[in-house]
């Protein structure tokens, strides 16, 4: 096998031959990476998170309540509310009046706030920040803003339903007033109060007056009333039945109206918090041991490549001079 082929045996020989250099580079890379990954150079980032399940979410489409909640959490209203609440432009040291200032602020927010659906159909809300307490407060504020947003949307829909039911009530009320006015006219003009009862009573009175030889005046009065019942009784009965139907419908709509109005005024929440956010003293980034490890591996690999390159070059020059 050619000497210049970098086999495992060949690489091991090179590492042993240059072991002092590898040791020095390793020590230097450990020291340098440990220093430059410290808080003096990289501000530590802390993570706070919450896990929530959707609650009281009214379905609008084929999406699941969890998917709808994710969409709500990504709403512009919630993002702007959190940015204003904690003055994140100043916290992130971003001048929003500068060119692309607002864009950079939104981009920074989106990089620090993560919303994701878990395999158990819950939602994880994660916030990263240099201040652990602020990260925790931001998670709580996002949940609070979410509840306000969902409540606002639900109340808007409920208000539409309330207006529809209220219009139905107004129509039924007008129908009842119109029918009741016609019934009242018939009560006054024709003395019809209850068709069914009056027919029975006046029939009995008429037969009794005839059998007992009642006065002509009383028989005439009964006869007039029987004529009124005969001519207008059916119409009165139909109107009374229609009035009762409309009244029942009105009462049903009124119960629905009261229920919808009650729902609109409820202070519902739309998340069940499974894991509450807490400020943590353990930083999420940078992971110093990982930085040190990668730094050691990369610097030693770079040194090995330099040595191989140098060795190949020397061998190539030596062979050329011999030729």
Question: What pLDDT shows up at residue 82?
Answer: 94
* Tens of each residue's pLDDT in the chain, 323 residues: 444 444 667 777 777 877 888 888 888 888 877 776 666 656 788 899 999 998 887 766 677 888 888 888 989 999 999 999 999 999 999 998 888 899 999 999 999 999 998 888 899 999 999 899 999 999 999 999 999 998 888 888 888 888 999 999 999 999 989 888 887 877 767 666 565 555 555 555 554 554 555 544 455 555 565 666 566 666 777 878 888 899 999 999 899 888 888 877 777 788 888 989 998 877 766 666 777 788 888 888 887 888 788 777 666 555 555 55
In the chain, which residue ranges form alpha helices assigned H by DSSP? Answer: 8-17, 19-36, 65-73, 76-85, 88-91, 101-112, 132-190, 195-212, 216-264, 288-322
Contact 239, 179 (CB under 8 A): yes
Hey, is 266 helix, strand or coil?
coil
Question: What pLDDT shows up at residue 61?
Answer: 67
| Main-chain phi, psi angles of 52, to 5 degrees | -130, 155
Question: What pLDDT shows up at residue 286?
Answer: 62
Distances (CA, A) of 100 to 20, 80, 106, 107, 111: 51, 16, 10, 10, 16
Distances (CA, A) of 143 to 121, 227, 256, 266, 311: 17, 75, 31, 18, 62
Question: What pLDDT shows up at residue 1?
Answer: 43
Question: What pLDDT shows up at residue 270?
Answer: 84
Is the peptide bond preceding residue 30 cis, with omega within 30 degrees of 0?
no
Question: What pLDDT shows up at residue 128?
Answer: 93
Question: What pLDDT shows up at residue 106?
Answer: 94
The residue behind tokens 């993570």 is 47
Burial class (CB in 10 A: 0-12, 13-18, 19+), 30: middle
Question: What pLDDT shows up at residue 3?
Answer: 47
Question: What pLDDT shows up at residue 48?
Answer: 93
Question: What pLDDT shows up at residue 199?
Answer: 55
Tokens of 19: 């072991």
């Amino acid at each position: 096998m050619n000497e210049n082929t970098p086999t495992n045996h060949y690489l091991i020989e090179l590492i042993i031959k240059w072991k002092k250099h590898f040791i020095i580079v390793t020590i230097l890379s450990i020291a340098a990476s440990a220093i430059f990954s410290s808080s003096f150079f990289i501000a530590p980032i802390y993570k706070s998170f919450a896990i929530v399940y959707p609650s009281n979410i009214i379905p609008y489409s084929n999406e699941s309540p969890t998917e709808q909640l994710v969409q709500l959490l990504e709403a512009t209203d919630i993002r702007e509310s959190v940015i204003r609440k904690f003055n994140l432009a100043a916290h992130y040291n971003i001048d929003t009046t500068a060119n692309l200032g607002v864009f950079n602020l939104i981009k920074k927010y989106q990089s620090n706030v993560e919303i994701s659906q878990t395999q158990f159909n819950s939602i994880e809300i994660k916030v990263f920040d240099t201040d652990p307490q602020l990260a925790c407060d931001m998670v709580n504020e996002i949940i609070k803003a979410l509840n306000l947003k969902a409540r606002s949307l639900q109340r808007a829909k409920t208000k539409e339903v309330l207006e529809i039911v209220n219009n139905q009530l107004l129509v039924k009320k007008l129908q009842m007033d119109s029918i009741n006015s016609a019934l009242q006219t018939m009560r006054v003009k024709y003395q019809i109060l209850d068709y069914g009862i009056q027919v029975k009573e006046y029939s009995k009175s008429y037969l009794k007056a005839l059998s007992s030889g009642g006065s002509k005046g009383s028989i005439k009065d009964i006869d007039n009333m029987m004529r009124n019942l005969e001519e207008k009784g059916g119409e009165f009965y139909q109107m009374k039945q229609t009035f009762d139907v409309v009244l029942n419908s009105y009462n049903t709509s009124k119960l629905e109206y009261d229920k919808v109005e009650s729902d609109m005024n409820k202070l519902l929440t739309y998340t069940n918090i499974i894991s509450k956010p807490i400020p943590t003293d353990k930083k999420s980034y940078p992971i110093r041991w990982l930085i040190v490890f990668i730094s050691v591996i990369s610097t030693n690999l770079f040194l090995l490549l330099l040595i191989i390159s140098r060795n190949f070059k020397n061998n190539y020059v030596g062979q050329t001079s011999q030729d």
